[in-house]
Amino acid sequence: MLPQSRLEELEEELEIERSNRAKAEKARQALSRDLEEMGEKLEESGNATATQIELNRSGKRGRKMTVLLDGFFKSYFGCNFGHWRKNPTAQSREKRGISG
């Protein structure tokens, strides 16, 4: 048999080991939650990036459409699309079929 003092010493070490394991498990769980949150944020960020890319593409298409409309309006109404859009007089002339 072990002397009482050695037994108490081993029990104390065992309690310290258990405490350290509990702390390590708690830290592992916190890191696991953090990792999951980061994954969600990364996914959200990826979705936002994809959305921004699509908006940029549609913006380019919109600019191309404006260029095409400018050409059409210039040849048909004698003014560009931007001017027509901002100028109610040009719009009313178009509705009445009056040029320039």
Supply the pTM of this predicted model.
0.47
In terms of residue numbers, what domain contains 11?
4-96
pLDDT at site 61: 77
pLDDT value of position 86: 65
Dihedral sign for Cα 32, 36, 41, 46, please. positive
- What are 19-74's pLDDT values in tens digits? 999 999 999 999 999 999 998 888 887 777 877 777 777 777 777 877 777 777 77
Number of independent structural domains in the chain: 1
Instruction: Please indicate whether residue 56 or residue 16 has the higher confidence score (pLDDT).
Output: 16
**Helix, strand, coil content of the chain in percent (nearest 5):** 90, 0, 10
